[in-house]
A and B are shown apart, each in its own frame.
Chain A
């Protein structure tokens, strides 16, 4: 077989005139191996078949308009400036990363020809570098070819502090070099088992060098392309009104055959989550609504209405609603700060109190009566993907046992029924953000604690204050000026839990010294944990690394550093006809090219 013949075959597969299987058959018939055949296809930009393999449309276009509703609107379209997930979603319509995370937390190639691994030589054995092969024949919307120069430029652009990119954290600890026009190598400063931090998913979208090069650094905000994106994605830019509307049209030269299905796309922003759910599920004005932070009761009611046109799409995520126990003393001021890491919590230094609290959170009721389908009771802090989930932990709700534990530890009931020991009374302040499900959960915990002789004072803080990094405000979650507090972490999150488990290491303790920017508000400190974390950060064997993360999870859970309550799920509303796969490890639009509507 000559080269032109081979190219012809590849072209046929590309155009959908020949199946992948027929191609592999033909190559194997020539005496080559099947993996080699798939590799040829991969390098020709025909990586793996669609993940679910159930993309039905047989040609691109013809799907009409895709109407998407976001109750928080995209305010900018340069992915390197994205402040929240909403901005990434807006940019994701036009831009693509090298690879995306599928629902199971596996990488799927997008602009890469294949996913690097040790077998194909993409990932260095010492973990010091990763080599990406880029897909051939990809074009920017303006017709210019997509090459390794673009990829290298994105690293230069984002890692320059003067650009003020929000993605700088992904890019600054690596160097990126071009090997050939379709190959780039990422070099790390130290052995990095998790190499997919850059060029991947929402934070890894690639912008074109030819349009952004003059605007690298301090004048980044002047780039005209900030407002008129030119990407490689399935839809081309039409119109953008910050805070209101993003519009696109089908990209006729998209690099995946038969895609996308829709002719136009419209992302409308504003309003509130409940009415967005209504517009999709009840009236059918829109096809999809993002991030349904709506109580399950309301969603179910809408879905069960006679003429419902849509449904709530619920997918697993890592987000964990949990209760944190303060290791420091929030009620004594040391060196001008409360909850100083130098102090010990007067009550929680007794392990019996921590263990009793673990028994007093009625997770089953919280799940059944408050979160419904949108949260699952769990004993683990680290949930999902499956390979990182501990099987060693259990959770129980048992008031009697909690009472017994406290009694044995010497906490005796006073005349008012509240337990005390050495004149320290079991009175706790429990803070969280203002949010109806959280206040209900607080009430459930308070009730159970009362039965065990623990008095809980409830406190709730406006979310905009509670989650802010405002140094002047005493009510933020990072300052943690109370005994226990509750909120959700882990969304968004990469499937790899390294960054996620960082919130317990001692060098992340939030304090006055780091302006309370540290990620560990519990002020918990454990040599053993720090050691395990450092080991995991350099462990190249995937199995051992997972085992370390599981051990870390078990440690913080069993020690009562945190009490996991619910593993929350990612929820979107979708019309019955819309076919789309969501992944909580990436933007909802991670696979936008495969979205289609069934007749």
Chain B
């Protein structure tokens, strides 16, 4: 096990280096620069924009800039945002709470829907409940978030005027009022993201339960005369959820990455909206840091998923 871990970690190093080189080159080749807006402002002479570019090292060769970035990153210096003139790590940490709250609750919501619905559908395949659940699941994952988001805003904010559609991090209330306001503003984005995720997870849960429920040991359990509830909860679900656990683990990096579109629509100050605004402003250090951390998390959670798998399913041996 220890050797396996070590090997996986060693393999991760070149993949991360490769990822960072690709990211950096693509960003360097992309058009536009962070001081583009200055160029169209007649009060700012062109030399000023040029001096700023030089000061922030934008005119250096790409390879040089990459090595500079890499060595800083290894020292724990995430870089310095051109646009905000502050350290990238502070910027990211500021955005993390909103993202964790919204994406985290949406994943919890998705699990709360997907597990019972998926299991129940599988236990009674092709029943009316299963048919309806299937239909909703298909509708759910064929609707993109930007569509459901706008639909929700139109319905709940504009026609009904129940919920605010601008997410605020500074609710000026205390106690229960604060929780209530927080709930009101989080409900739409969480629902948009959670329902989409729930739709696809429901399908996974259903199919994996269906597979297990037909196995001989389940029949044996039933033949022993165990009540159906016990058979499903104790014998079926545990085994059926092994692939689902991997799936959920692989979804975890998204917690950090945020939801770009949804965050933009509801003005949630999360990582996703930081990424998109940095891309629009050509703020390379921020884009680089966010995408790179995301890459690290993907690799990490892949490893975790593999290890979890072995722990849940003793048949798998690492060597």
Name A's B-contacting residues (CB within 8 A).
65, 69, 73, 75-76, 78, 81, 83-84, 161, 164, 166, 168-170, 197, 203, 221, 226-227, 239, 241-245, 247, 264, 266, 268-272, 275, 278-279, 282-283, 285-286, 464-465, 467-470, 472-473, 478, 489, 492-494, 499-500, 502-503, 514-515, 517-519
Within 8 Å of chain A (Cβ to Cβ): is B117? no
Complex Cα spacing A168 to B44, Å = 8
Contacts of B135 in A (CB 8 A): none
> Is the pair A283, B84 in contact by a Cβ cutoff of 8 Å?
no
* Complex contact A241–B169 (CB within 8 A): yes
Chain A residues with CB under 8 Å of B34's CB are 83
* B52-111, CB < 8 A from A: 52, 55, 80-81, 83-86, 91, 94-95
Residues of B within 8 A of A247 (CB): 170
Judge whether B277 is part of the interface by a CB distance below 8 angstroms: yes
Residues of A within 8 A of B80 (CB): 221
Check A514 against B46 for contact (C-beta < 8 Å).
yes
Residue among B32, B49, B86, B94 with the highest chain A CB neighbour number at 10 A:
B32
Q: Does B264 contact A (CB under 8 A)?
A: yes
Is there contact, CB below 8 Å, between B39 and A75? no
A264 with B172: CB separation less than 8 A: yes
- Neighbour of B94 across the interface among A81, A241, A468, A473, CB < 8 A: A241
Q: Is the CB of A245 within 8 A of B170?
A: yes
**Which residue of chain B has the shortest Cβ distance to A500 in the bound complex?**
B42
Which residues of B lie under 8 Å from residue A270 when comparing CB positions?
Answer: 264, 267, 269, 273, 277
Q: Which residues of B contact A65 (CB under 8 A)?
A: 172
CA distance A286 to B167 in the complex (A): 12
Which of B37, B50, B52, B269 is in CB contact (< 8 Å) with A84? Answer: B37
Cα–Cα distance between A9 and B31 once the two chains are bound (Å) = 63
- The reply to whether A245 and B169 form a contact with Cβ atoms under 8 Å apart is yes
Which residues of B are found within 8 Å of A278, using beta-carbon distances? 158
Q: How near does chain A come to B251, taking the closest CB pair, in angstroms? A: 25
Q: A467-B36, A469-B39, A499-B43 are in contact. Are A226 and B166 (CB under 8 A)?
A: no
- 28 interchain pairs, CB-CB under 8 A: A76-B85, A83-B35, A83-B83, A164-B51, A168-B48, A169-B43, A242-B83, A243-B84, A243-B91, A244-B169, A244-B273, A245-B170, A268-B168, A270-B264, A271-B264, A271-B265, A272-B264, A275-B265, A279-B165, A283-B158, A285-B164, A469-B33, A469-B36, A469-B49, A470-B33, A472-B31, A494-B43, A503-B42
- Asked if B174 lies at the interface with its beta carbon under 8 angstroms from chain A, I say no
Contact A221 B85 (CB under 8 A): yes
Q: Which B residues touch A272, using CB under 8 A?
A: 264
Is B207 an interface position by the 8 A CB rule? Answer: no
Q: A169 with B48: in contact, given A242-B91, A243-B274, A467-B40 (CB under 8 Å)?
A: yes
Interface size on B, residues (CB 8 A): 52
B237 within 8 A of A: no
Interchain CA distance A227-B84 in the complex, whole Å: 9
Q: Which residues of chain B are near A515, meaning CB under 8 Å?
A: 50
Question: Is A286's CB under 8 angstroms from B166's CB?
Answer: yes
Interface pair A227/B166, CB less than 8 Å apart: no
Whole-angstrom distance from the CB of B273 to the nearest CB of chain A?
6
The winner among A83, A161, A271, A514 for most chain B CB atoms within 10 A is A83
Say how far B82's CB is from chain A's closest CB, in angstroms.
9
The answer to whether A282 and B158 have CB atoms under 8 Å apart is yes
Cα A494 to Cα B274 in complex, Å, equals: 32
Known: A244-B269, A279-B166, A286-B166. A467 touches B83 (CB 8 A): no
Chain B proximity of A248: nearest CB distance (Å):
11
Within 8 A of A (CB), among B1-52: 31-46, 48-52
Contact of B165 among A285, A464, A489, A494 (CB under 8 A): A285
Check B33 against A241 for contact (C-beta < 8 Å): no
B308 CB-CB contact with A under 8 Å: no
The 8 A-B residue pairs with the shortest CB-CB distance, nearest first, are A517-B46, A244-B269, A469-B39, A242-B84, A270-B267, A468-B36, A271-B267, A499-B42
User: Which of A243, A286, A465 sits near B273, CB closer than 8 Å?
Assistant: A243
Q: B94: which A residues are within 8 A, CB to CB? A: 241-242, 244
Bound-complex Cα distance A377 to B309 (A)? 69
Contact A166 B42 (CB under 8 A): no
- B262-319 residues with Cβ-Cβ distance < 8 A to A are 264-265, 267, 269, 273-274, 277, 280-282
Question: In the complex the two chains form, is A226's CB within 8 Å of B85's CB?
Answer: yes
Tell me if B161 counts as interface (CB < 8 A to partner A): yes
Question: 1/0 contact trace for B213-240 toward A, CB 8 Å?
Answer: 0000000000000000000000000000
User: Are A166 and B32 in contact, CB atoms less than 8 angstroms apart?
Assistant: no
In the bound complex, do residue A75 and residue B31 qualify as a contact, i.e. CB atoms below 8 Å apart? no
Hey, which chain B residues are within 8 Å of A245, CB to CB? Answer: 168-170, 269
Docked Cα-Cα span, A478 to B40, in Å, equals 10
How distant is B198 from chain A, measured CB to nearest CB, in Å?
26
The distance in angstroms between the C-alpha atoms of A86 and B84, with both chains bound, is 12
Asked if A468 contacts B39 (CB within 8 A), the reply is: yes
Does chain A have a CB within 8 A of B157? yes
Flag if B86 contacts A285 (CB, 8 Å). Answer: no
Task: Give the distance in Å from the alpha carbon of A424 to the alpha carbon of B289 in the complex.
Answer: 54
The winner among A164, A472, A493 for most chain B CB atoms within 10 A is A164
Task: Give the residue name and chain of the A residue nearest to B36 (CB).
Answer: A468
In the complex, what residues of A have CB within 8 A of residue B267's CB?
Answer: 268-271
